[in-house]
Amino acid sequence: MLLAFATPLGEGTNNQAELESAIFGMTWSLELGYKKIILEVDSQLVVDWIMNKNNPQWSISLKC
């Protein structure tokens, strides 16, 4: 493991939290200059959302 983090995500469902965490981690890794990123999640639903197989009923706005 090269990178781990913890951050408050506010209110929402567990799926929203996992997707927002994945986006946060990937964004942070890219900002640090990593080009090859392996993302591991334990939610098939989140994998489907990332791969655009399903669209969630909500959207996430990232605050930078």
- Residue-level pLDDT, tens digit, the chain, 64 residues: 777 778 788 888 888 888 888 888 888 889 999 888 888 888 888 888 777 776 666 565 555 4
pTM, two decimal places? 0.67
Q: What is the CA radius of gyration of the chain?
A: 12
Residue ranges per structural domain of the chain: 10-64
pLDDT in the model for residue 52: 76
pLDDT in the model for residue 47: 83
> What DSSP state is assigned to residue 33?
T
Return the ∠ at Cα 52 (arms to 18 and 57), rounded to 5°. Answer: 60
